[in-house]
Structure 1
Amino acid sequence: METRINAYIKGPNAMKTLFNIGNYLKTSSVEKRLLELVDFRISQINGCAYCLDMHSKDARADGETEQRLYGLSAWRETPYYTNRERAALAWAEAVTRCEVPDAVYEKVKPLFTDAELVDLTLAVTAINSWNRFNLAFPTEPGTYKVGQFG
């Protein structure tokens, strides 16, 4: 297969826009550890190996446990996650699948402020965008270093 373009070099303004969203989310009131879980889970759904590598490393560096990362694909059946995390994961999966039923909204709404829910939704859309860029223009998994992007 022919090597694909490097989106970071050929589309720096587009990539800068995504990095700016990430910089905004670093100041969000949604806790970083929860955002990493969401990023990891959505990357599992989308099959993005580079993002799985990145977010597993960042989550571990932030104190996340191996058990919780390994169990994330079966989060509904495991006792490792808080109600807030469960609501966020359900929301993230629903937004990713473009079907957000009232039942999911009713579970997430009591656990997040309006601003947090908007930020969580932005985080979900951002990781979906990153996943799609990394699938369209592959970046080699295993090459990410914690803190590499700021």
Structure 2
Amino acid sequence: MTSKRTVAALPGELTIAFTREFEAPAALVFRAHTEEDLIGKWIGPIGTHMRMREWDARTGGSWSYVVVSGSGNGEWAFHGAFHEVTEPSRLVQTWEFEGNPGHPNLEILEFADLDGGRSRLTGLSVFPTLEDRDGMLADMDGGMDENFNRLDGLIAAGELG
């Protein structure tokens, strides 16, 4: 079953909020967001792969990776810091595209169990400017759905443990 995602971005506010449900316990969805060997299996557009430069998913840790096109003619680098890693319920991190430096956002993810072995991911991203927020909003729909659908597939196939 594919779960629909909700998104809210109120006029004049610097935030984007979303929710998404999964057919897996919160602990498994949390692991998919924090374990180095799992994150690269579902993040990034189809036809790309991730080259990990650094991954230290702990409070005070940092991360950095490059998404590489399947044809090898394009790369997009990202980095950030983990401000809070509270297994299995909360992840707070910064996120920045290196192609547009100086425009980080703060991301707060909360993972909650639901009945029947399901879970809900609630996210809030805070941006430094409305222009940054609106730019992300314009580009995020297809990518977020694609990533979460890939994660659904990994969960259904039992590839996350």
Higher relative contact order (CA 8 A, sep 6+): 1
TM (norm. structure 1) is 0.35
The structure in which a higher percent of residues are helix is 1
Question: What TM-score comes out, normalization by structure 2 length?
Answer: 0.33
Higher strand share: 2
